[in-house]
Structure 1
Amino acid sequence: MKEQSQRLGTQPIPKLLADLSIPAMIGMFVMALYNVVDTLFIARGVGILGVSGVSIGFPVMMIMMAVAAAVGIGGASVISRRLGESKPEEANQVFGNVLFTILIISVFGFISAFTIMEPLLKLFGATENILPYAKDYLFPILLGTLFFSFAFTTNNIIRSEGNSRFAMITMIIPAVLNIILDPIFIFGLDMGVKGASVATVISQGTVSVVVLYYFLSGKSSLKIKVPFLRPHLKVLKEVITIGMPAFIRQVSGSGMMIAINFMLIKFGGEFEVGVFGIVQKLAMFTIMPMIGVLQGMQPIIGYNYGANNYDRLKETILLGMKIVTIISFGIFAIMMIFPEGLMHIFTGDTSTIETGAYAIRIMFALAMLIGVQVVSGGLYQALGMAKPAMILSMARQVLFLIPLVLILPYFFGVSGVWLAFPLADLMAFLLSIIFLYKDRDLFFKSKNETPPYETAPTSL
């Protein structure tokens, strides 16, 4: 086993968490920056309708990535625990089955570009004015499903073996390339929204080649072996079961955007959809640092749970919770003080800035509660406990946010859409606290105690 994996059970937790989280945070930050810059170029080069088209097309892309998330995060959880149990061959078998699943996902994505793309966009709320922009954005993305799925999935796998620095590099490469290529395709070649998506596909294809070389060159603790590419139902079931919360989270995010776009068109118009497209990118930017911390925590938790190192498990959780809480309060302060300045980055239009700033102040009113929500579901996922991980992953978006988005506008108009966000944050936070308190013996046990979920942790 490579030293990068062994240190998960030996290196001091503060240093280890910093080594794993900081590269993840940097990678997520750069990716979020790319999303913001992408939207900025579209807003400046195409206009608010272009942003609206991306907002309508993005849920379809999220569904595609939801499957990759389930396989990648589920596979990463299983692999980190197999490595902690000193079972490298079983870890390689899991990895092979993950690669097989990526190929299946890619075939479906490619076919859907020529078959169901336009009906989906119309179903998701594309109006006659928005549809051409949405099609231009989504078609190249679906053709490049293989690159997106492979890069996204293997990033989680690389992190599961403790190689956070290379995982960071695989996030930075496509983001930087995208930022460079966007103005060339959007402005230089006058491709508009299509130029943004073509730049994205080229960037993901480039990093996919880099990642493939990493695994084939022997730099990884894992190996690509042809016999392990053959699907095994038992392995796939464990991976998908554990990864299902990530799938639910991604799909619910897509459902959330569909519901929001629908209600914004119903109670506002295409303008409000474009405004939300900008605010949503800012929201992704703010949550990325906390996801980076969680990604740093998960391989430590999975490895030490598999190795029965419960003191290290407890220390990791406490430290991670403190960090994400501090980040949450920082996000709250920024969004309350500087919303107009943030909107001005994307547009000089006064009405767009005013509407966006108003939405931001409402949506982030309880942003200080976000950190606990992000970490809690990820803790259960890292331990292979699919049921609570799934419930917490669904809580904010499926159980609370989508119903509130569909109800509140009938009482408060467009403002009801924005108001749904802080109310959902409060409810999801309270549910997370209930789960964490109920399972406090699992997360904060002493080293000699038997874990209460030692048997069948992945069962539903």
Structure 2
Amino acid sequence: MTVSSKDLAKKDIKGLLIKQSVPASVGILFLTVNILIDTIFVGRWIGSLAIAALSVVMPITFFISSLGMAIGTGGGSVLSRSLGAGNREKALATFAHQIMMTFGLSSIVVIFGLFFGDEILYLFGANGAIMAPAKEFFLPILLAVPFQALCMMGTSVIRAEDKSKHAMAAMILSAITNVVLDILFIKIFGWGIHGAALATASSFFLCFVYITWFFIYKSELRLQWHHFTFHKKIAGEITSLSFVTFARQGVISVLAIILNHTLYTQGGENAVTVYGIISRMLMFALFPVLGITQGFLPIAGYNYGANNFDRVKASVSLAIKYAGALAIFIFVIILFFAKPITAVFTTDPAIIRDTPEALRWVFAASPIIAVQLIGAAYFQAAGKATKALLLTLSKQGFFLIPLILILPQFFGIFGVWVAFPIADVLSTIVTGIFLKKEMAAHYNEDKE
């Protein structure tokens, strides 16, 4: 049965949050399994140096594909609020602009990457022996990034329509394709890291095919040619909110540059490999928390557009409670099973020795991150771009990058690992203050 986006304003908040978050969580799980499987197969079938190469290349490709994520999330906020306000034509025009902007911008960036690939790889930390496998992995992934960008944009729009199961299906299809082709290309054909890249690139393309099928046959957003007429106002509104997500990914990319160079200076290729494993676990282990954040966005955005502030406040409260409980559970798992988790990725004794302690430190403050994630997402859903930008950048940009530049000067490589929980605590405090003031203001307004 087709579900209308109007249900976001009517149905029980708890049920809506579960309905939106579970498919989003499963979708993110399979997306991160894509990356996780690559890392495990590459580490065990090619070698630990190949994990270091992945840690260099993936932030580059995610930076490019994050154009789609940013335009999808920012435009999704505009789209949700337009549907909530009953302005269907604006919602359709917004979707058309998302398609044009995602394809155009990602293609331009890919062309730039083709001309300056070596320089970009070195900038992101392809030092010493890491450069050769990084170059081999880079090109196939780079060429497929526009498809990934369009998939990331499309899944955000699907969730804004309240059809999150289809967004989940696209990510599951992509993940299964990647696993099957990894086994075929790496293990059976022996194509090494180039095979891993081809498998991942193929999974991006298949996701794009599914997203295209959905919007042609299943979507309630039926586009016509006149919707593709460029409107500066709509593009500007999408851009202002998209910049929040894109700036966050940009800061994450700057963080990756600083991290990879700092780690190489402090501990060589092994230290970069250790963080390669940790970064995969950061994406994988937190998938249910990120799923709740994604599921929360269309509920908050739609009801904010419809001036249902009580429902907005209820969705914020529930999202923080559920995400916080899951984050605590994840922390306990990491605390007790850090070494077995590391052993899944590699058989290298040095990596198995060094990774568990670092992994525990990086996750040390994860029980409190729900406030930071949901708080920043609320301001984005409400269309408050400046506050959303500041809060989204608070962890990586304002706290983590300066700490990583300073602490290793005094504490060596331990300074890198301890910087993560310190940044989590500081950014959560700042977000909590902003969110508390915002909720109190809207609650009072609604009662007057």
Fold equivalence (TM over 0.5) = yes
* Greater alpha carbon shift after TM alignment, 189-198 vs 315-324: 189-198
Q: How many residues matched?
A: 447
Residue 105 (structure 1) shift: 2.2
Gaps of 5+ in 2: none
Aligned ranges 1:210-249 → 2 under 5 Å: 210-217=210-217, 219-249=218-248
Distance (Å, rounded) in 2 between the aligned partners of 1:186 and 1:432? 44
Q: Which amino acid aligns with 1:338?
A: F
Task: For residues 283-302 of structure 1, give each alpha carbon's deviation from its aligned partner in whole angstroms, at most 9, with x where no partner exists.
Answer: 11122211100111111111
Residue 68 of structure 2 contacts residue 151 of structure 2 at CA under 8 Å; is this kept in 1? Answer: no
Distance (Å, rounded) in 2 between the aligned partners of 1:443 and 1:168? 33
Aligned ranges 1:196-211 → 2 under 5 Å: 196-211=196-211
Distance (Å, rounded) in 2 between the aligned partners of 1:334 and 1:79? 38
Residue 56 of structure 1 contacts residue 124 of structure 1 at CA under 8 Å; is this kept in 2? Answer: yes
Distance (Å, rounded) in 2 between the aligned partners of 1:235 and 1:389? 19
Counterpart in the other structure of 2:75: 75
Give the TM-score, by structure 2 length: 0.97
Aligned ranges 1:42-441 → 2 under 5 Å: 42-217=42-217, 219-441=218-440
Q: Which amino acid aligns with 2:396?
A: Q
Counterpart in the other structure of 1:457: none
Residue 342 of structure 2 contacts residue 352 of structure 2 at CA under 8 Å; is this kept in 1? Answer: yes
Distance (Å, rounded) in 2 between the aligned partners of 1:173 and 1:289? 19
Distance (Å, rounded) in 2 between the aligned partners of 1:424 and 1:443? 29
Residue 320 of structure 2 contacts residue 370 of structure 2 at CA under 8 Å; is this kept in 1? Answer: yes
Task: For residues 127-146 of structure 1, give each alpha carbon's deviation from its aligned partner in whole angstroms, at most 9, with x where no partner exists.
Answer: 23111111111211111122
Distance (Å, rounded) in 1 between the aligned partners of 2:102 and 2:313? 34
Residue 100 of structure 1 contacts residue 230 of structure 1 at CA under 8 Å; is this kept in 2? Answer: no
Residue 353 (structure 1) shift: 1.1
Distance (Å, rounded) in 2 between the aligned partners of 1:48 and 1:442? 52
Residue 113 of structure 2 contacts residue 120 of structure 2 at CA under 8 Å; is this kept in 1? Answer: no
Residue 65 of structure 1 contacts residue 250 of structure 1 at CA under 8 Å; is this kept in 2? Answer: no
3-state SS of paired residue (2:286): helix
Residue 442 (structure 1) shift: 4.2
* Greater alpha carbon shift after TM alignment, 148-157 vs 439-448: 439-448
Counterpart in the other structure of 1:41: 41
Distance (Å, rounded) in 2 between the aligned partners of 1:78 and 1:179? 35
Distance (Å, rounded) in 1 between the aligned partners of 2:208 and 2:360? 39
Residue 48 of structure 2 contacts residue 346 of structure 2 at CA under 8 Å; is this kept in 1? Answer: no
Q: Which amino acid aligns with 1:169?
A: A
Q: Which amino acid aligns with 1:280?
A: S
Distance (Å, rounded) in 2 between the aligned partners of 1:394 and 1:119? 26
Q: Which amino acid aligns with 1:196?
A: A
Task: For residues 286-323 of structure 1, give each alpha carbon's deviation from its aligned partner in whole angstroms, at most 9, with x where no partner exists.
Answer: 22211100111111111111111122112111111100
Residue 189 (structure 1) shift: 1.9
3-state SS of paired residue (2:335): helix
Task: For residues 380-400 of structure 1, give each alpha carbon's deviation from its aligned partner in whole angstroms, at most 9, with x where no partner exists.
Answer: 000000011001110000100
Residue 28 of structure 1 contacts residue 171 of structure 1 at CA under 8 Å; is this kept in 2? Answer: yes
Q: Which amino acid aligns with 2:213?
A: Y
Residue 167 (structure 1) shift: 1.1
Aligned ranges 1:23-34 → 2 under 5 Å: 23-34=23-34
Task: For residues 365-424 of structure 1, give each alpha carbon's deviation from its aligned partner in whole angstroms, at most 9, with x where no partner exists.
Answer: 222111111111001000000011001110000100011111111111111110110110
Residue 446 (structure 1) shift: 6.7
Q: Which amino acid aligns with 2:344?
A: I
Q: Which amino acid aligns with 2:197?
A: S
Q: Deviation above 4 Å: which 4+ runs of structure 1?
A: 445-449
Distance (Å, rounded) in 2 between the aligned partners of 1:373 and 1:45? 38
1 or 2, which has the higher helix percentage? Answer: 2
Residue 62 of structure 1 contacts residue 253 of structure 1 at CA under 8 Å; is this kept in 2? Answer: no
Identity of matched residues, %: 35
3-state SS of paired residue (2:4): helix
Distance (Å, rounded) in 2 between the aligned partners of 1:106 and 1:365? 35
Distance (Å, rounded) in 2 between the aligned partners of 1:255 and 1:414? 19
Q: Which amino acid aligns with 1:41?
A: F
Gaps of 5+ in 1: 450-460
